[in-house]
Amino acid sequence: MLPLALREPYRLHMGGHFLSDESWSHTERIITDCELIIGVSGVVFLEAAGLLYEVREGDILILMPGEHHRGYKLSSPGVSFYWFHFAEPDASGEDPGVRIPRYASCPNPNRVHILARQLLHAANGGYSIPQAGDYFLTCLLIELAEQLQDSEGREALSPELAELLEWTRLHALDRDISVEKIANQMGYNKDYLSRMFKRRFGSGLLGYIHQIKLESAKELLSSTRLHVKEVAARIGIDDDKQFAKWFKRLSGVTPTEYRLAFARTRLNNV
């Protein structure tokens, strides 16, 4: 956590609004100051001090001085975030009662984005007062502390958990995919893995597999002319009747109804 010391303002070094029109990954480096990253769109995949973070819209991540960090996965085109490098003020003798979580989701991201834009305006010479950027940065940190005062922040992904998610994503469409197979692959006890996954993500690993299958089925139904039976086979379900029941249970409509609804949507958007 970042202690919020307010005897004097935080000192802004530089900042910007990053936007990539192509796949992108953060440069590997170590910085000598603090960095605040505020997610605007897409996902920024960052490894810092051996832990993995996914910074999404409305998320914040604070990197500390001397911390080795790098992108561990490509972000999709359109990824965007604010970034600010700053120095902490001298807080000797001060006991900050408020701390900002290192990694958290903001309940009101619009307020944070407004302050971030004002800070960039000040940092780029929008104010004649030289210290304006420092005070806007301090206001932004106060806003974060206020919004997150009852939050303990989000947990980073351990490299092992990130590997588990990636392996599951790559094999979720296999016919023989199961929690037991994933547990054996990752070297976990099946029951322990199920409990750990639910505790970390709030839902079961089997539900995660079904969600990947469902999204793949929707994509095939909406973008191809494959028969429903072929779509079922592509996502690892051999029985098309079983697939139709499963699809309706999860999405509320049958595969055919979904395909027709998508076709009408496309036609109306022409």
Q: What is the mean pLDDT of each run of 10 residues along the chain (270 residues)?
A: 76 91 87 92 86 88 89 85 87 69 90 92 83 90 87 71 82 91 87 80 83 89 89 92 92 89 51
What's the pLDDT score for residue 114?
A: 92
CATH 1.10.10.60 for domain 159-268: yes
C-alpha separations of 191 from 128, 160, 168, 183 in Å: 62, 17, 16, 9
Distance of CA 233 to the CA centre of its chain: 31
Where exactly does CATH 2.60.120.280 map onto the chain?
2-147
Q: How far apart are CA 30 and CA 69, in angstroms?
A: 6
* Contact call for residues 16 and 95 (beta carbons, < 8 A): no
Where exactly does CATH 1.10.10.60 map onto the chain?
159-268
For residue 187, which amino acid is it? G
Q: What's the pTM value of the predicted model, to 2 decimals? A: 0.64
Q: How far apart are CA 72 and CA 43, in angstroms?
A: 12
Q: Which residue has the tokens 């994933």?
A: 182
What's the pLDDT score for residue 48?
A: 86
The class level of CATH for 2-147 reads mainly beta
61 CB-contact burial (10 Å; exposed 0-12 / middle 13-18 / buried 19+) = buried
Q: Cα-atom radius of gyration of the chain, to the nearest Å?
A: 23
What's the pLDDT score for residue 270?
A: 38
